[in-house]
């Protein structure tokens, strides 16, 4: 049986441990494990972004990742939080047409995720049918830091409505609906999606009317970021015929942005959530229309683009998220350790030991008048003590006892 000295065994074990430790420390620095908790900046209570954030949270929870939802005023505040190094926000929703990568260079996009419609509500008895008729009215246009506020202000100004001839109320979400119900606001402009309970309740409320806007095509020509959306008659409730007629709306698209230094595995997981939630067909969108693989305003995150094109990786396809990450890191440690150990052992002397034929060793040492073989198997049977002494003193030390 081959044998190895304790000294050589200890050296090999120490080398392996050192290599593995060095590989682990290097990977922990250069390839850290994904965080177990991230924070997303949503929007106002009851809004579209909070609606989607809750759906993403449920999906990430299945993979043992906690998604904290931070309520904000909307797009402009979300961008400030994403740009702020100490905000603690990792991802956030933004509305198209409000900003771009020139003003927010440190963020990346996971693509456009939906159509965001601007619903214009008024009380059922109010006869107004055009935005130009809103002079002297109290208009809830969303919080000051929201994308809805920014877009609504542009649209109203184009129609001749300004803070000088109307009252702009910085209210959004539930607060805006409460103001309309209490008679403190005459008109409500809300950027949202049909699926939110807030919009569904307003559409079914007999005391509230959804306004169909004329000349929407003209607005989309003046503001290319806007798009024309149509809500068909009866699409909300066919039995009660809600809405009673086709309604033309102004809309835009939204993006989900992340910090540029967010872990790629978390970005891939968020991309998976977007495909599951936003890839479904709806009243305004076709199946698979969202999320998009491009964003005209922000650079795409490479991990998201790769997921949209190729789907989950081999490990993520067959293993749970947390196990796939451990397996990936373990594989990387093994490869790194082998890369460290192979050069080390290539310089070590080779040794073979036999129990029946004795021992023989080979070494790279070439000094001395004899060959590099040593050990009992290489000695002449009738060698003299002097010869044996010479071999012991000049030959390399045997590797085996």
DSSP output for 163-210: TTTSEEE---HHHHHHHHHTTS-SEEEEEE-TTSHHHHHHHH-TTEEE
**pLDDT tens for each residue of 164-193:** 999 999 999 899 999 999 999 999 999 999
Q: Shortest CA distance to 98 belongs to which of 254, 241, 244?
A: 254
- Between 153 and 341, the more confident residue is 153
377 pLDDT band, cuts 50/70/90, is: very low
**The pLDDT value given to residue 390:** 43
Residue 386 lies in a domain: yes
Structural domain contains residue 363: yes
Average pLDDT (209-216) is 95
Task: Express each pLDDT in 224-251 by its tens digit.
Answer: 999 999 999 999 999 999 999 999 999 9
User: Which one is predicted more confidently, 31 or 212?
Assistant: 212
List C-alpha distances in Å: 212 to 25, 122, 177, 232, 400.
61, 11, 19, 11, 93
The residue that leads in pLDDT, 198 or 359, is: 198
**pLDDT for the residue 355:** 45
pLDDT tens-digit map of 40-90: 999 888 889 999 999 999 999 999 999 999 999 999 999 999 999 899 999
CA–CA distance, 17 with 32 (Å, rounded to integer): 20
pLDDT at residue 250, as a whole number: 96
**Which secondary-structure segment (H or E) carries 258?**
strand 247-259
Q: pLDDT-based confidence at 321, cuts 50/70/90?
A: low
**336: CB partners within 8 A, 6+ apart:** 19, 22, 23, 26, 27
- Residue range 92-113, pLDDT digits in tens: 999 998 999 999 999 999 999 9
**326 — pLDDT class (breaks 50, 70, 90):** low
Counting the structural domains of the chain, the total is: 1
In a domain, 131, yes or no: no
pLDDT at 329 over 90: no
Mean pLDDT for all residues in the chain:
83
CB of 182 closer than 8 Å to CB of 211: no
Domain hosting 390: range is: 356-394
Q: Is residue 100 part of a domain?
A: no
The percent of residues in the chain predicted with pLDDT above 90, rounded, is 63
Indicate the pLDDT class of residue 374, thresholds 50, 70 and 90: very low
pLDDT at 387: 43
Residue 367 lies in a domain: yes
Kindly state the average pLDDT of the residues 16-34: 66
Residue 373 has pLDDT above 60, yes or no: no
Above pLDDT 70, what percent of the chain? 71
pLDDT tens per residue, range 2-14: 555 667 667 667 7
Residue 345 in any domain: the answer is no
Cis amide bond preceding 79, omega within 30? no
Q: Is residue 371 part of a domain?
A: yes
Of 258, 238, 121, which Cα lies nearest the Cα of 190?
121
At 127, the pLDDT band (50, 70, 90 cuts) reads confident
pLDDT tops 70 at residue 284: yes
* pLDDT, greater one: 314 or 236: 236
Q: Is residue 389 part of a domain?
A: yes
CA distance readout (Å), 68 to 55, 60, 88, 147, 257: 12, 11, 10, 22, 15
């Amino acid at each position: 049986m081959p044998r190895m000295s304790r000294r050589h065994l200890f050296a090999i074990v120490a080398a392996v441990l050192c290599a593995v430790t060095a590989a682990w420390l290097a990977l922990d620095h250069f390839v850290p494990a994904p965080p177990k908790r991230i924070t997303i900046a949503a929007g106002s209570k009851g809004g579209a972004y909070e609606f989607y954030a809750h759906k993403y949270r449920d999906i990430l929870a299945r993979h043992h990742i906690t998604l904290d939802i931070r309520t904000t005023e909307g797009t402009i505040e979300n961008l400030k939080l994403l740009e702020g190094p100490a905000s603690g926000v990792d991802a956030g929703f933004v509305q198209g047409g409000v900003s771009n990568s020139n003003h927010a260079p440190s963020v990346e996009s996971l693509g456009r995720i939906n159509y965001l419609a601007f619903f214009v509500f008024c009380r059922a008895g109010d006869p107004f049918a055009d935005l130009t008729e809103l002079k002297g009215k109290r208009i809830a246009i969303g919080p000051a830091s929201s994308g809805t506020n920014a877009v609504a202000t542009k649209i109203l100004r184009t129609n001749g409505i300004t803070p000088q001839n109307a009252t702009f109320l910085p209210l959004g979400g539930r607060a805006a609906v409460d103001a309309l119900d209490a008679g403190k606001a005459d008109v409500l402009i809300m950027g949202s999606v049909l699926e939110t309970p807030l919009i569904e309740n307003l559409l079914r409320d007999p005391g509230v009317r959804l306004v169909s806007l004329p000349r929407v095509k003209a607005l989309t020509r003046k503001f290319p970021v806007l798009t024309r959306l149509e809500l068909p008659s009866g699409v909300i409730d066919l039995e009660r015929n809600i809405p009673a007629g086709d309604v033309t709306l102004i809309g835009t698209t939204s993006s989900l942005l992340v910090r540029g230094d967010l872990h790629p595995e978390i970005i891939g997981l968020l991309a998976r959530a977007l495909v599951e939630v936003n890839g479904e067909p709806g009243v305004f969108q076709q199946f698979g229309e969202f999320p998009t693989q491009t964003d005209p305003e922000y650079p795409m995150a490479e991990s998201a683009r790769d997921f949209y094109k190729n789907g989950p990786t081999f490990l993520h396809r067959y293993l749970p998220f947390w196990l796939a990450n451990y397996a990936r890191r373990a594989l990387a440690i093994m490869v790194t350790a082998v890369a460290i150990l192979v050069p080390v052992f290539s310089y070590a002397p080779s040794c073979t030991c036999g129990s029946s034929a004795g021992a023989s060793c080979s070494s790279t040492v070439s000094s001395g008048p004899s060959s590099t073989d040593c050990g009992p198997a290489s000695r002449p049977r009738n060698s003299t003590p002097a010869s044996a002494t010479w071999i012991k003193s000049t030959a390399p030390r045997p590797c085996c006892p």
